[in-house]
């Protein structure tokens, strides 16, 4: 099938190539009505702008996709990236992987860079940050650039591959309640992650289905940075009498759980005798923590494989495909960091 070119878009829209180029580059010299008309034509023709990179072989281009994850040091994302690479390689694609380092501007920079080169599409673990969080994602949609998100972002209709965070946390809390725990808290994650809010919702829903009463004091903002979580955990417990300690903590993720466990050890609070700990993600070394961690297992490699499958399918499709949203189930893994009270 003949590849749609900028000349085809210009001809169909009845404008010059320069005008189409100005729209692609988001220049303000084009009237809004003309811009909208050209964008509609681009979608109708399933046109995607080409970058400047080319292979040395004549009439060929590299088949490359990009991955923008939040933290290269966190095994949850590195395992997803491994899944992306495995699927992409099986289809003849190379993969460029970078980290936004949990920085919104960095994510915007990389998404703009990838879409302006011959990186055919991108998988993004998005940073959620106020009103400006989806501006760059709208721009990708506007130019019909293929991308897949690893978290659902409100306000943007896009392909998403994720886990059911609400259901996962609800299952963990209900396990604690059914085993006699009544003083349970959730150490929440960073504000820049949609997972944080989904996990808070799951925590709250678990209480709505029990005789226990939920209150906002059960949600303790922590983030995910190890040192910050360590210090906040010590401050939290030092601010309470022993009688007011929670009997269980549901952590945002396994890395946060490790910081919490380290802090509790340093202030002589025993796990699970004094406090039970539940993590999230089941990263590969959570089973060999000083106390093997009860956690929620996410199919990280499969998430990466599916995200790459959807992305490449969209890259290679001759027409615009319907949006896909794939939500994976999780598994609750019981280890030594939790204790039955009844």
Q: Percent of the chain scored above 70 by pLDDT? A: 94
The pLDDT of residue 47 is above 90:
no
The pLDDT of residue 101 is above 50:
yes
The pLDDT of residue 117 is above 90:
no
Query: Residue 130: what pLDDT?
Result: 60
Give the mean model confidence (pLDDT) for residues 199-204.
Answer: 96
Beta strand 159-163 pairing with 248-251: unpaired
Going by pLDDT thresholds of 50, 70 and 90, the confidence category of residue 129 is low
Query: Residue 36: what pLDDT?
Result: 85
Question: Which domains, and CATH codes, for the chain?
Answer: 6-42 (1.10.260.40), 64-162+300-328 (3.40.50.2300), 165-298 (3.40.50.2300)
Q: What is the mean pLDDT of the chain?
A: 90
Going by pLDDT thresholds of 50, 70 and 90, the confidence category of residue 32 is confident
Going by pLDDT thresholds of 50, 70 and 90, the confidence category of residue 5 is confident
- Which of 115-124, 213-222, 256-265 shows the lowest per-residue confidence on average (mean pLDDT)? 115-124
Give the mean model confidence (pLDDT) for residues 210-220.
Answer: 95
Residue with tokens 């920079």: 109
Q: Is the peptide bond before 342 cis (omega within 30 degrees of 0)?
A: no
What angle (nearest 5°) sits at the alpha carbon of residue 160, between those of residues 120 and 107?
Answer: 60
Instruction: Kindly list the distances between the CA atom of residue 186 and the CA atoms of 89, 194, 199, 248, 298, in Å, as whole numbers in the listed order.
Output: 39, 16, 9, 9, 19
Going by pLDDT thresholds of 50, 70 and 90, the confidence category of residue 342 is confident
CA atoms within 13 Å, Cβ hemisphere of 200: 19
Query: Residue 239: what pLDDT?
Result: 96
Query: Residue 61: what pLDDT?
Result: 55
């Amino acid at each position: 099938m003949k590849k749609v070119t900028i000349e085809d878009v210009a001809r169909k829209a009845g404008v010059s190539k320069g005008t189409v180029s100005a729209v692609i580059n988001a220049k303000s010299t084009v009237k809004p009505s003309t811009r909208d008309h050209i964008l509609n034509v681009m979608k109708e023709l399933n046109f995607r702008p080409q970058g400047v990179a080319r292979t040395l072989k004549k009439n060929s281009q590299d088949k490359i996709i990009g991955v923008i994850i939040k933290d290269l040091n966190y095994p949850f994302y590195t395992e997803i990236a491994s899944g992306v690479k495995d699927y992409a390689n099986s289809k003849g694609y190379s993969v460029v992987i970078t980290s936004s380092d949990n920085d919104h501007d960095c994510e915007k920079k990389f998404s703009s860079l990838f879409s302006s080169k011959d990186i055919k599409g991108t998988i993004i673990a998005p940073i959620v940050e106020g009103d400006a969080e989806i501006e760059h994602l709208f721009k990708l949609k506007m130019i019909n650039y293929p991308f897949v998100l690893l978290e659902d972002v409100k306000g943007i209709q896009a392909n998403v591959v994720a886990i059911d965070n609400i259901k996962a946390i609800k299952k963990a809390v209900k396990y604690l309640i059914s085993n006699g725990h009544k003083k349970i808290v959730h150490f929440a994650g960073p504000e820049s992650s949609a997972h944080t809010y989904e996990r808070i919702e799951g925590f709250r829903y678990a209480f709505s289905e029990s005789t226990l009463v939920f209150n906002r004091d059960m949600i303790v903002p922590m983030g995910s940075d190890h040192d910050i979580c360590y210090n906040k955990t010590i401050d939290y417990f030092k601010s309470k009498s022993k009688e007011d300690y929670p009997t269980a903590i549901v952590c945002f993720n396994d890395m946060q759980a490790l910081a919490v466990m380290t802090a509790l050890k340093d202030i002589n609070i025993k796990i699970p005798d004094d406090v039970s700990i539940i993590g999230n993600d089941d990263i590969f070394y959570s089973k060999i923590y000083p106390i093997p961690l009860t956690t929620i297992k996410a199919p990280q490699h499969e998430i990466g494989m599916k995200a790459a499958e959807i992305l490449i399918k969209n890259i290679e499709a001759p027409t615009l495909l319907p949006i896909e949203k794939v939500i994976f189930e999780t598994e609750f893994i019981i280890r030594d960091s939790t204790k039955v009270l009844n």
